[in-house]
Structure 1
Amino acid sequence: MIPAGTPKTVGVVWGLLILNTLGSTGAETIIPLPRSLIQVVTMGALVGAFTLALALNLQLRIRANAVVLLLTLLLLPSVISSVDLESGFGALFRCARLALFVGTLWLLSRWWDGSLTFVRHHIRTYFAVLGSVAVGALISPGAAMPDVYGGRLVGALWPLTPPQIGQYAAVIIGLTVLLLLGRQTDRASAAVVIGPSLVLLVLTHTRTATLGLLIGLVLAISSLILTSAAARRFFVWTVLCGAVAAVGFSSALQAWYRRGQSEQYFSSLNGRAKVWDALLAAPRSTAEQLFGTGLGDKSFDGLPIDNSWLAVFHEQGLIGVALVVGIITVLGAVALLRPPSLARACAIFLISYCAIASYTEAGLGDASPYLLHLTLAASLLAAPAEPLPFAATAIPRRRVPRWARDREVT
Structure 2
Amino acid sequence: MGIERESGGPGTAGTRPGVESRPAGVPRAVGVVWGLLILNTLGSAGAKTVVPLPRSLMQMVTMGALVAAFALALALNLRLRIRPSAFVFLLTLLLVPSVISSGILESGFGALFRCTRLALFVGTLWLLSRWWDGGLTFVRHHIRLYFAVLGTAAAGLLVSPGTAMPEYYGGRLVGALWPLTPPQIGQYAAVIIGLTVLLVLGRRTDRTSAAVIIVPSLVLLALTHTRTATVGMLVGLALAIGSLLLTSAAARRFFVWGVLCAAVAAVAFMSALETWFLRGQSQENLSNLTGRAKVWDALLAEERSTAEMLFGVGLGDKSFGGLPIDNSWLAVYLEQGLVGLALVAAMVLVLGGVALLRPPSLPRACAIFLISYCAISSYTEAGLGDASPYLLHLALAASLLALPAAPAASLPTPEAPRRQVPRWSRDGR
TM-score by length of 2: 0.91
Alpha-carbon distance, 1:390 to partner: 2.0
1:295-347 CA-partner distances (Å, limit 9, x unpaired): 00000010000000000000000000000000011001100000000000000
1:180-221 CA-partner distances (Å, limit 9, x unpaired): 000000000000000000000000000000000000000000
Partner of 1:50: 70
- Asked if 1:221 corresponds to 2:241, the answer is yes
Partner of 2:83: 63
Whole-angstrom CA distance in 2 between matches of 1:376 and 1:228? 23
The one-letter amino acid of 2:208's match is A
Alpha-carbon distance, 1:379 to partner: 0.2
Alpha-carbon distance, 1:4 to partner: 3.6
Alpha-carbon distance, 1:262 to partner: 1.1
Whole-angstrom CA distance in 1 between matches of 2:368 and 2:286? 29
1:105-137 CA-partner distances (Å, limit 9, x unpaired): 000000000000000000000000000000000
Whole-angstrom CA distance in 1 between matches of 2:24 and 2:126? 17
The match for 1:367 among 357, 374, 387 is 387
Partner of 2:192: 172
The one-letter amino acid of 1:84's match is I
Whole-angstrom CA distance in 2 between matches of 1:256 and 1:249? 11
The match for 2:373 among 330, 349, 353 is 353
Whole-angstrom CA distance in 1 between matches of 2:125 and 2:300? 33
The match for 1:293 among 294, 302, 313 is 313
1:379-406 CA-partner distances (Å, limit 9, x unpaired): 00000011011249x8xx9xxxxxxxxx
- Asked if 1:33 corresponds to 2:53, the answer is yes
- Asked if 1:339 corresponds to 2:359, the answer is yes
State the SS of the aligned residue for 2:289.
coil
The one-letter amino acid of 2:209's match is S
Alpha-carbon distance, 1:264 to partner: 1.3
Whole-angstrom CA distance in 1 between matches of 2:245 and 2:99? 45
Partner of 1:92: 112
Contact 1:166/1:200 (8 A) holds in 2: yes
Whole-angstrom CA distance in 1 between matches of 2:49 and 2:372? 32
Partner of 1:106: 126
The one-letter amino acid of 2:347's match is I
Whole-angstrom CA distance in 1 between matches of 2:104 and 2:164? 41
State the SS of the aligned residue for 2:343.
helix
- Asked if 1:24 corresponds to 2:44, the answer is yes
Partner of 2:401: 381
Partner of 2:224: 204
Alpha-carbon distance, 1:3 to partner: 1.2
Contact 1:21/1:367 (8 A) holds in 2: yes
- Asked if 1:190 corresponds to 2:189, the answer is no
Alpha-carbon distance, 1:31 to partner: 0.3
Partner of 1:257: 277
The match for 1:283 among 303, 327, 331 is 303
Unmatched 5+ stretches in structure 1: 398-410
- Asked if 1:244 corresponds to 2:271, the answer is no
1:57-106 CA-partner distances (Å, limit 9, x unpaired): 00000001000000000000000000011000000000000000000000
The one-letter amino acid of 2:219's match is V
The one-letter amino acid of 1:185's match is T
Whole-angstrom CA distance in 2 between matches of 1:385 and 1:351? 23
Percent identity, please. Answer: 78
Runs of 4 or more above 4 Å deviation: none
- Paired positions, count: 394
TM-score by length of 1: 0.95
The one-letter amino acid of 1:33's match is L
Whole-angstrom CA distance in 2 between matches of 1:199 and 1:167? 13
The one-letter amino acid of 1:270's match is T
Rg larger in 1 or in 2? Answer: 2
Whole-angstrom CA distance in 2 between matches of 1:231 and 1:9? 33
Q: Which has the higher helix share?
A: 1
Whole-angstrom CA distance in 2 between matches of 1:17 and 1:366? 13
State the SS of the aligned residue for 1:159.
coil
- Asked if 1:181 corresponds to 2:201, the answer is yes
Whole-angstrom CA distance in 1 between matches of 2:349 and 2:95? 19
Whole-angstrom CA distance in 1 between matches of 2:91 and 2:409? 32
1:25-58 CA-partner distances (Å, limit 9, x unpaired): 0000000000000000000000000000000000
State the SS of the aligned residue for 1:390.
coil
Whole-angstrom CA distance in 1 between matches of 2:254 and 2:294? 41
The one-letter amino acid of 2:64's match is G
